[in-house]
Structure formats: C-alpha cells, structure tokens
Chains A and B, each alone.
Chain A
Amino acid sequence: MTLKEKRAADIEKVLAKYPTKRSAVMPLLYMAQEEYGFCSDDAMREVADITALDPTEVKSIVGFYTMFFEEKTGQYVIEVCDDLPCALRGADAFVHHCERKLGVQAGQTTPDGKFTLRTVMCIAACDRAPVAQVNREYRYSLTPESFDKMVDDLGGARSTAAGPQTA
C-alpha cells in the first residue's frame, strides 16, 4: 500500500495547512518515516509525487535534516545528548554505558535490529541531564540503572557484561 492509500486523511489535513504543497514536505517525510521506518527511495518518490517536487529535491531535504533517516534503523532509535550542558553532568560516561549495555557503538544498530544508538546535539532538556529520546519521546534524568531497565523493558535483555562489538 502506498502512503497515499494508507494515510489519505492525514495527507489532506497536512496539505490544507499551507498555501503551497511544498511546505508539506517535512510533515510528509515524518509520515513516510512512521510508515516505512526510514525515508526509503520509494518513500521519497511518493512524497515528491504528493508535493509536486522533484525526487532529488526531496532527497536533498532528507539529507539536510538529521531527523530524517536515509537508512533502515532499529525498531527503537535511542538518541542521547552529549552536548556541553549534558556533558557537564556526565553525559559522555553515560553514552559509554549505553554502548556497553547495547553492545554497539553510537551510530550503530544492534544485530537483532531492535535498537539504534545515536548521539545528538542539545535537545533542550539540559536541566534533566543525562537525557535521551526514544523514538522522539523524552527520557529525562537517566542513570545507568534506569537506562538498563528501559532497554530491558523494551525487550532488549542483553547482558551488561558483553563488550562493545561491531555490527
């Protein structure tokens, strides 16, 4: 099924917000990402079709903005801030812990396709550092323990003893 078929009502709603179709490109890319997991070439072609843009232009937008993924990600994308305000409150050591817990390095996806770990720049929650987002939902004031529990609750019960490994 195409995006148009799956989300017809949502697409109409988004297009109605703007006087030009082009303005809908970002909301539509989010929609495509929700449906397909990432902005695949087909997804970008569909968005281009809806917005009457050239697929190349849509791809340039996907390329410019960091929250659009050009490659398949894990089921859960965990984004940990390691920018200065968070780093002043232990974010670097915390990222290291996340890497050990998940058994991958930041930027990688676990072999089972469950988790992608990324580091990100400031996400406007420096008062509750270390902070992360899981599929764009905030997780505030994390500790190694609460992170482990979160990962386990999401179904990723990897042992913390496992060393880093490349996927």
Chain B
Amino acid sequence: MEKHVLLRDLDVPNIREIAVYQANDGYAAWRKAIGSLEVAGMKPDEVMGVVKDAGLRGRGGAGFPAGLKWSFLPKDMFPKYVVVNGDESEAGTFKDHQLVENNPHQVIEGVALCSYAVQAGTAYIYLRGEFYEPAKALQKAIDEAYAAGLLGKNIFGTSYSLDIHIHLGAGAYICGEETALLESLEGKLGQPRLRPPFPAVQGLYAKPTVINNIETLANVPPIVLYGAKWYRQFGTEKSPGTKIFCVSGRVNKPGNFELPLGQYTIRDLIEMAGGTIDGRPVKGILPAGSSAPILPASVLDTKLDYESVAAAGSILGSASFVILDDTVDIVWAARKMVRFFKHESCGKCTPCREGTFWALRVYDKIVSGHGTQRDIDMLVDVANGMANKCFCLLGEFSTSPVLSTIKHFRPEYEQFIREHHDGKSGIYQDELIRDHAISVLSEAPTGKSH
C-alpha cells in the first residue's frame, strides 16, 4: 500500500515514539472523541456508531462486526471491561507482534477509544507469554501515554478515567479463544467457558466485557478520525478496510503485507512476498495457519476477502498465509499441524483431547513406515468423530489439516504409504524421536500438554 493505515511503522520511522506518533495525527482521534473541559467531545454512542458504520470486522479470526459486538454490552451495568486479545498463537501469524512492537501507540489509542465507547474504566491487554519483549515496548508506550495525560484519572479534565494493563500469558494456544483468555486472566487454567452467557453480558469477573483482537482495535483511531466513509474507500462492501496478511513458508520474502480487502488475489500476495523459493510451483495454501482447510493451487486467483476465501473452501481467519510448494511432503505437513493441536488441546473435552491424541498416533504410524491404506480412512474417521462435537473451535479446527489434506491430496497419502510401509523405510525419524522424547519427558503427572 502507498500509505499504510495499520503498519504505519513502514511509512513513518520511529512512530513507536509518542512524539513522532503525535506529530503524525497520533491521539488526534482520542482527543476528538473525549474532548476536554472547554471542548465537547463525541458521545460514547457516536464513537460506537462510526465504528459500526465503517463496517469494521474482527481481525482475530471470526470476522464479527466490531461495532455490533460493542453494542451488546448492557448500558447500565458497571464496571465494564475491555480485554484485548494479543495471544497471537495461530501458526503463521505474526501481525500483532509487529503492531505492538513498532506501532504501539495506535494500539493503545484504539483500546482507549473502544473503552470510551463502551464506558469501561479498565482495559487488559493479554499478550502471549512469548511476547516478553514486545510487552516491554508496549508498557513503555503505555507509560508515555500516562505521562502525557492521555490515560489515567479524569483525562483532559473530563469525568472519564481509564487504566490500561498488560497481562502476559504463559504458552497456551487455547488462550486465544476468548473465554479461555478470560479464565487465564482471572488466574485459572486457560479452558473455554460454556456460552451463553456471552462475555458481553458476563465476561471478565462476570462483568460486561468486550474482547477484540489487537489488529481490530488498531483500526479504530483512523476510523474515528477520518470517518466511516473514508474507511470504506478501502476493501469491499462486506469486508471494508485494510487487513494485514502474514505470509510465511516457501516464499522468498516472508512478512506482513497490509492490503485493502478484496482487491488482490492469493497469487498477487505470493508475488508480493517475492514469489516461491526457486520459483517452484505452489502445492497448497493455508490461509489461516493450521486452523484453516488447505487450498489447492487451482484457487490461486481467489480474491483476498472473507467471502471469497470462504467460497474457495477455506476461511480467511487471521489471514496468516502459509505457502507450501511442490517440495513439501503433504503427509509430513499434516502431521506437523496435528502435532500442534495435540500439544495445544486444553484437555477439557473428550473429543478434542482424545481425538488429537489418536490422530497424531495414526500419523506417527504412517510416517514411521508402518502405515496401511486403511489408516487414511481411519484418520477421516477420527476427524469425523470430532467434528461438531468439541467444546470449542480448537478441536473443530484440528480436523481441518486432516480432512482437507486428505480431500485434496489423497493420492499423496496413498503413495507415501506404498513407498514406506515395511516398517523400515520410515522417514522423519529424527523428528519422531525428538517429539516422543519430549512428550515422555513432560508427560508428568501434572498432565502438561506436549
């Protein structure tokens, strides 16, 4: 993009510093919204209204309209909370990492605007535990914002007060699931809650709570400052705005690319990432990390928006595009993804806990050279036994790599098993031994997942 809306660190050097951010329209939306003793600001409902009109959809994966989500909070119940999801643990996703580290004030301003819109007095930004360094950068920015009077008690002399705190996770993918995140923030095991009640009514500490992704809220300052119409110049009718696409895997220049939704295709995106390594043909595309069904190369001309990717048979989700070329063994790749879900299953519900365990066992059998053709159907059976039966989306998502790779690449599974079925010619032995050594080591009585 010529001028970035979110990844402004690419246009403005040192925008992570508050002086530079403020010299470039930073906190102008916040000042406009909150006003001061002398100047009237916007009403909370007006802030919510402009976000609704802009059609901003949640960027964490589900794509739910943000303004609508905010409006679900009961008006007369206090305190209310804003919780920001920066758990960013989907394989292949690294956009919030860049936002928090390089453009932290825009994140803070977005959190402040959201908090004001719903009249929350406290916001928690939940960052994954591995974001120890990005959290330091964000905390520095928060401290600067307090020092500048942008946060804290009676901001700009108004009656509105806001505190923003960072909370670090500790290595659990499940905490990206919003109710598991709330549990974790309350100091419990990160396991999902039954819904209803929804967090909008009973969220953090059983109080009305908004939960939004970091990237979602980073969109809010420009929307409030320049208006819904300005925002809608980017993107499509149903998917307005820009979105950060993370590209990784077998490309020359992996990285984050901010693009208007619906304007470019998957093929364009791979081009922007420098094309595939050695110009090899694309074999498959994972549009949302391990959670989304794999897409074959035949849909490379799919437009990059929620509806088009869904029509092609997958989900745009967090838009973390992992590119597989023809050198990639699909059985190996599927096993890696299943291993991920087995490791990250929280253990709360049986279909997910047992299903991911057994799916990985079957993959290990195949990969170690003991597979039979019947095992392919066994994998499908296990996955179908889980589908629509898991407590939360983690379990549901874990069936994607199994079912979608078998659907599109079944002949490769068959060939793999034909070539490696005598119990001796298994490949990836190093990896298997390593994974198993680790699982033995950590399968202590506490049941730590691995």
Given A19-B205, A64-B189, A85-B92, residue A121 in contact with residue B170 (CB < 8 A): no
Whether A26 contacts B187 by the Cβ 8 Å rule is yes
- For chain B, residues 232 to 258, give those with C-beta under 8 angstroms from any C-beta of chain A: 246-250, 254-256
A136 near B132: Cβ-Cβ < 8 Å: yes
- Which residue on chain B has the smallest CB distance to residue A138? B133
- The size bracket of the interface on B is 35 or more
Which of A23, A61, A84, A138 has most B Cβ within 10 Å?
A: A84
Given A60-B189, A107-B437, A121-B173, are A66 and B449 also a contact pair (CB < 8 Å)? yes
Is A11 interfacial (CB-CB < 8 Å)?
Answer: no
Chain B residue numbers with a CB within 8 Å of A122 are: 89-93, 289, 340
Q: Which residues of A contact B344 (CB under 8 A)?
A: 121
Closest Cβ of chain A to B89, distance in Å, is 7
Answer whether residue B105 sits at the interface, using C-beta atoms and an 8 A cutoff: no
A127 contacts B91, C-beta separation under 8 Å? no
A125 within 8 A of B: yes
Task: Please give the distance in Å from B213's CB to the nearest CB on chain A.
Answer: 13
Report how many residues on chain A are interfacial, defined by Cβ distance under 8 Å.
54
* Distance (whole angstroms) from the CB of B295 to the closest CB of chain A: 15
CB proximity to B under 8 Å, residues A99-144:
105-107, 118-129, 133, 136-138
Known contacts A60-B446, A65-B171, A66-B449; decide if A26 and B248 are in contact (CB<8 Å). Answer: no
Alpha-carbon separation in the docked complex, A65 to B447 (Å): 10
* Residue B131 CB within 8 A of the other chain: yes
Judging by beta carbons under 8 Å apart, are B94 and A107 in contact? no
Which listed segment binds B: A1-9, A87-95, A154-162?
A87-95
Nearest Cβ distance between residue B413 and chain A, in whole angstroms?
A: 17
Assuming the A-B contacts A61-B187, A85-B92, A87-B336, are A124 and B170 also in contact, with contact meaning beta carbons closer than 8 angstroms in the complex? no
A147 within 8 A of B: no
Name the residue on A nearest B333 (C-beta): A84
Given contacts A22-B188, A85-B92, 5 further A-B contacts (CB under 8 A): A62-B446, A83-B91, A84-B336, A127-B255, A129-B254
Instruction: For the complex of A and B, list the 10 residue pairs with the smallest distance between their C-beta atoms, beginning with the closest.
Output: A63-B446, A65-B170, A126-B248, A66-B171, A22-B187, A67-B171, A136-B132, A67-B170, A122-B91, A25-B187
Offer 5 A-B interface pairs, CB within 8 angstroms, sorted by A.
A84-B340, A120-B171, A124-B130, A126-B249, A129-B254
